[in-house]
Structure 1
Amino acid sequence: MPTVRQLLQYKPNGKQIVALTAWDFAIAQILDEAGVDLILVGDSLAMVTLGYENTLPLTLDEIIHHAKAVKRGVKHALIVVDLPFLSYQTSTEVAIGSAGKILKETGAQAVKLEGGHPAMVATVARLVEIGIPVMGHIGLTPQSVHQLGYRQQGQSETDRERLIASAVALEAAGAFAIVLEHIPADLAKSISQKLSIPTIGIGAGADCDGQVLVTADLLGLTQRQPPFAKAYVNLRATIAQAVQDYSAEVKEGRG
């Protein structure tokens, strides 16, 4: 199982980080056996598993419930768990309580939170100070959907400078890696080159230090595929066909 410290050595050694999301035992076990480096119990489970319209309704207890199941299926990969909306933004003390609860109850090795400079930097620094590894997340931050929407971030010069400043500040605060979501590829490359910690891209081009996808998107299970997410198989159609074949056999007395 790679530790946070070992993951930090991927970048200087030129090794790409392979990351995917998981939400239950079966998916986690498959990803782990396939050799994924990092498994993220992302708040995308709000939509993928629980049927919410966005990530905002997800609670701390819900993500902990799923993270426990994921942990049971993992023997090798590093597990990182998202801090849900309003489980960390209101104060550093609240963030410590939420992050500590996740690590104590799930057995995960790290947490991830959204946002950069200046709002989240002090929170990241304090979490790291007390021994909680933190992965940052900037660019398109889904918990800010009502403010930012789902459009690509970092298109104006002001936004580019803000994102670069956030990445640098998060590294200085002690984040061990940063997710760069849905930003221009040249900006992601610039950020990656400025940092000594790894960047993990999702819709941010090929020049990050690793890539992450929502596994349901990779498998073609979602109805609304993000424009930057490649489906490697259409399991939605495969499963539907299998169910139809089974149903036909049962109805015809062959099941």
Structure 2
Amino acid sequence: MRLRGLIHVASILLSLATAWLFVRMYFSPSWKAISLRNWQGSSADLPHTKPLPNKCGNQKSCPENFFAFKVISGAASVVGPSICFENTVLMSNVKNNIDRGLNVALVNGTTGQLMKTDTFDMYAGDVKQLLDFLKAIQEGVIVIVASYDDPATKLNDEARAMFTEMGSRAASQLGFRDNWLFIGAKGLKDKSPYEQHIKNDAAKNKYDGWPEMLEMEGCLPKKLD
């Protein structure tokens, strides 16, 4: 009888304790009610979906009516250049469509669609091929250029002048094994802000006989009709 009484008392105490905890949990200001969402896991506890990377892997996204781009020059005579436009790689080692000299991609300035790519060997090639290519470009077409190895040995005054008319500041100064990145357009009235140039300087070169690789990324305004 005594044992049964103790069990009964213990049961009552346990019930009281459970009721006290229930009251504390739902009515005390220091406790928070547990909802189904809390039980399954709050939004803070759920795994967050990582934001999609910016186009071309750029550091910043581009506003509406702008194209995203990233252009990288060649590194010495070992690693070729690459051109990415609106998250599409237009030219690269992987695509196997780059070569020594000037690597050029033409893009529709309104739609962003690739029109043509070509390479021009400016060390041992024929500059006439480059001249014919440049003369055929229509106004409003975006011209993207990335150098590799040597962009200038065969680059004559006529070709330099044509790049200058597209907005280049550096075309007239390009020398043997310089690195050069440029985005311009035929009929551009002002100088292009999308250009980088580094001279081949034995005292400053990063590689043996070549300057360091260049990289340029940003947002290019669309040509609006």
**Structure showing the higher strand proportion among its residues:** 2
* Bigger helix fraction: 1
Higher CA-based Rg: 2
- Greater RCO (Cα-Cα under 8 Å, separation 6 or more): 2
TM-score by length of 1: 0.28
